Amino acid sequence: MTDQHSGTLEPYEVFRQEKEGGPMIHGGNVLAPDPELAVHYARELFARRSESTRLWVVRRADVHVLDDPDLLDPPLDRSFKKPGGYVMRDKLAAARGRAGTAKPGARAASHDTTGRRTGKTG
């Protein structure tokens, strides 16, 4: 913690929430000699016009950086948990290849999207 009378300015990171329930996003930073003034400065810069519903003001020295690739890159392949981690089209093509069948063509106009007959003949 800094001495409040030293006049030394420290950077404080400001995170803001634009609407209730929304994510906290990094808004920027302020320089202040102590946490109390940092909160006042942050309020003036990031909430004066009611553009934020909540602010987090954190002394930069208290932010812990995690940039170790061994900790950030898991040892196991978990791509299946990510959207687009695997493509179903590739799995279907491989299964068709094993079964020796061709890719089905477009549906006939006489069928709806569920594959049922619509009564139309085409």
* Residue 52, burial from CB neighbour count under 10 angstroms (0-12, 13-18, 19+): buried
- 88 in a domain, yes or no? yes
- What pLDDT sits at residue 86? 57
Number of domains in the chain: 2
pTM: 0.53
- 2 in a domain, yes or no? no
Same-domain status, 42 and 19: yes
Round to whole Å and give the CA distance between 32 and 57. Answer: 11
Using the Cα atoms of residue 22, residue 27, residue 33 and residue 39 in order, give the sign of their dihedral. negative
- 114 in a domain, yes or no? no
Same-domain status, 14 and 58: yes
| Lookup result for tokens 């006939």 | 108
- 119 in a domain, yes or no? no
- What pLDDT sits at residue 77? 67
Round to whole Å and give the CA distance between 68 and 52. Answer: 33
Same-domain status, 55 and 89: no
Same-domain status, 55 and 76: no
pLDDT digits (tens, 9 = 90+) for 72-92: 776 676 666 666 655 677 788
Same-domain status, 53 and 83: no
pLDDT < 50: residue spans in the chain: 1-3
Same-domain status, 76 and 57: no
- 107 in a domain, yes or no? no
- What pLDDT sits at residue 93? 84
Residue 36 belongs to domain with CATH number: 3.10.20.520
Range of the domain at 47: 10-62
